[in-house]
Amino acid sequence: MPTKKISIIALIMISVMIVISCNDVRRKPGRIYMPDMAYSRAYETYSVTAEQKEDLLKKQGAHYSNLPVPGTVRRGELFPFALMKDKEGDSTNYVASKLVKNPVTNLAPDQMIEAERLFLVNCAICHGSKLDGNGPLYKGGDGPYPAKPATLVGDAKYEAMPEGQMFYSVTYGKNKMGSYASQLDSRQRWMVIDYIKSKQAKPKPAVAGADSTAKK
Amino acid sequence: MLHYRLIAKKLFYILLFAVVSISGLRAQDGKALFQANCASCHNPIKQLTGPALQGVTSRVTDKALLHAWIKNNIAVLGTGNKYFNDLYVSFGKTPMNTFPNLSDAEIDAILNYVETYKAPTAAPADNGGGGTKDQENDNSLLYGVLTLILAVIMFVLLQVNSSLKKLSDDKEGIPAMEPIPFYRNKVYITFVVLILFVVGGYYVVQGAIGLGRTKNYQPEQPIFYSHKVHAGTNQISCLYCHGGAWESKHAGVPSLNICMNCHAAINEYKGEALHREDGTTVDGTAEIQKLYSYTGYDVKSGKYTEPGKSIEWVKIHNLPDHVYFNHSQHIRAGKVQCQTCHGNITEMSEVKQFAELSMGWCINCHRNSKIDFPDSTGAGNKFYSIYEKFHNDLKNGTIDSVTVEKIGGTECQKCHY
């Protein structure tokens, strides 16, 4: 009798220990009723099976971040930007881009709201929601980003910059800024530039004051 | 005499204060000037478009030459100075802007700031987080142990009771029945079987329902990418990387060039300490290095020296092919926040599946969510203007709002076709 009692108590203790030591981090997706339905037989990004992955990535060299086929233009796209990216140490096309005019001007109020949204999502993180070059990533030099983003409103250089040159910089990147062509299509890029130009055109006494102290 | 001394003392303090504040001002000035003119391309301790500037006064000891270079570098290059020409070539012949408007005093202030610059110190690591969670676990464990102890006590008491009864029966001369051991006692057996049935049944049903559901799935990713750091601390919009969520069916995982928009310049992590779910510390800088190994980026030269390869992120949220789900429909038209379905993503170091993604979960939300129905003032989504019946019902006060269900959001064919 006592050995039985002891063994039962021991069993209970062991099961309690097992329950305690279970890790609650779920690293495996778990089981499914019908794998054919849950995981597509077609090749889908990120949900491919192990065999599909082997077939796609290793044998066929498929790459999810491939560029579009050269020479193709997406439906609904604006007329392509004719200037190519400059080679290193060359600035011919950067200079030439000054002459390119913005084909997307005079935005309607709702388009302007959309342009502002695009700016806030994609640009404000560095250039600041007030376009003062002080977004959350720079934070006056305390943020993680080591380079000062351009002060789009309040710096004479960027206020005078032609829109074509801005488009070149947004499309191909400039200095430490990367290309935004994969996040914004050409129409959206022109819309954002029109938004920046409209902000620059507005009178801004406060920013101008801060700038004059900086250039004392 | 005392008087004079007091005045002298006061004067001394005022002077001291003035000197301190002026030098403070100048340092401040240097910072402002540096950020306004130089910081787009230079960092005191990091190589960006231009070289790291700290130590420039010892590299170029001729002060007049340095000033001339900063004011008009093209003229200095023209004189054939070897040091500056070599520098120009090594930085890909990217010309530096000219600064004819900077005075010598201003340049000195900038140089002073650059030479005395110290990297911002890392924020102190927080040791909160997880505390409340542990508390909860402790509580449930406590209840479990208490229940067990009570059950054991009950069992012992029952045994004692039966033994005592037997003893008293013996005393009173009632013939004792053959003692039945508890494991053959029918009451005990029935009791245990019942408990096993209920508990076992509960787990079987839960397991069957959970088949194919991956709530709390939190796989280890090839790079320790912390949404807490990016979307939380640094306030990057979700749509910056997952822009597809606004435009299309899929939210999409960003291509590597989007990572490199920032990480071409941000090559080390200096924020608060990162931890995996099991508590081990993560070296953020090493994780950024992993990104460079995927993109083939060379930090020293700032160029892509090797061909890039894809990062095989582990997909967490998976819907079977027979379910249609469209991100833009929910986010853009439905104005649903990302966090509604993906949880508090700005607090997640490692992403886990927050929602069940079960059909009951979808339907429940469709029953409760109100759509952006145009009210009497005309505000709201114009698409719904064709639902004449609901407009009339709203006007009559028969209904007070229109849910997704009312416009067919729980019809089978909406999502299964």
* Partners of B303 in the β-ladder: B298
CATH code of the domain occupying A92-214 = 1.10.760.10
- Of all helices (H) and strands (E), which one includes residue A200? helix A186-201
| Percent share of chain B, pLDDT over 70 | 88
DSSP per-residue string spanning B330-387: IIIIS---HHHHH-SGGG-SS----S---HHHHHHHHHHPBP----TT--S-GGGGG-
Query: Residue A46: which of B40, B95, B253 has the nearest Cβ?
Result: B253
CA distance B18 to chain A (A): 20
Mean pLDDT of chain A, nearest integer: 79
Between B30 and A180, where is the model more confident? A180
Q: Is the ipTM of this complex over 0.90?
A: no
Q: Which tens digit of pLDDT belongs to each residue from B366-375? A: 999 988 888 7
pLDDT, residue B194, reads 95
pLDDT, residue B137, reads 60
pLDDT at B151 over 80: yes
Select from B321, B346, B348 the residue whose CB has the most chain A CBs within 10 Å, as the one to mutate to test that interface: B321
Considering only CB atoms, which chain A residues are within 8 Å of B183? 4
The mean per-residue pLDDT over the stretch B84-91 comes to 78
Tell me the count of A-B CB pairs closer than 8 A.
Answer: 167
Q: Binning pLDDT at 50, 70 and 90, where does residue B15 land?
A: low
- Return the HEC string of A178-193: CCCCCCCCHHHHHHHH
Where in chain A are the domains?
31-60, 92-214
Residue from A10, A3, A1 nearest B163 by CA: A1
pLDDT, residue A216, reads 36
Considering only CB atoms, which chain A residues are within 8 Å of B92? 88-89
The tokens 């469209």 sit on which residue? B326
pLDDT at B360 over 80: yes
pLDDT at B152 over 90: yes
Q: How far is CA B134 from CA A123, B145, B148, B226, B281, in A?
A: 40, 16, 21, 22, 19
pLDDT, residue A215, reads 37
Q: Which tens digit of pLDDT belongs to each residue from B170-192? A: 888 777 666 677 777 888 889 89
CA dihedral A169, A173, A176, A177 (to 10 degrees): 80
pLDDT, residue B150, reads 94
- How far is it, in rounded angstroms, from Cα B372 to Cα B374? 6
| Alpha carbon distance, N-terminus to C-terminus of chain A | 96
* Partners of B281 in the β-ladder: B275
**A87 backbone dihedrals φ, ψ, rounded to 5°:** -75, 165
> Does the beta-carbon distance from A176 to B240 stay under 8 Å?
no
Between B17 and B264, where is the model more confident? B264
pLDDT at B330 over 90: yes
Residue from A210, A27, A61, A216 nearest A133 by CA: A210
Residue from B232, B249, B258, B208 nearest B343 by CA: B232
Between B128 and B15, where is the model more confident? B15
Between B38 and A120, where is the model more confident? A120
The tokens 């987080």 sit on which residue? B129
pLDDT at B132 over 50: no
Select from B318, B332, B357 the residue whose CB has the most chain A CBs within 10 Å, as the one to mutate to test that interface: B318
- How far is it, in rounded angstroms, from Cα B417 to Cα B415? 6
* pTM exceeds 0.95, yes or no: no
pLDDT, residue A13, reads 79
- How far is it, in rounded angstroms, from Cα B215 to Cα B218? 9
pLDDT at B125 over 50: no
Q: Which tens digit of pLDDT belongs to each residue from A106-152? A: 888 889 999 999 999 999 999 988 888 888 888 887 888 888 888 88
- A119-133, A146-160, B52-66, B350-364: least confidently modelled range: B52-66
- A13-22, B36-45, B218-227, B314-323: least confidently modelled range: A13-22
pLDDT, residue A190, reads 92
CA dihedral B138, B141, B145, B151 (to 10 degrees): 140
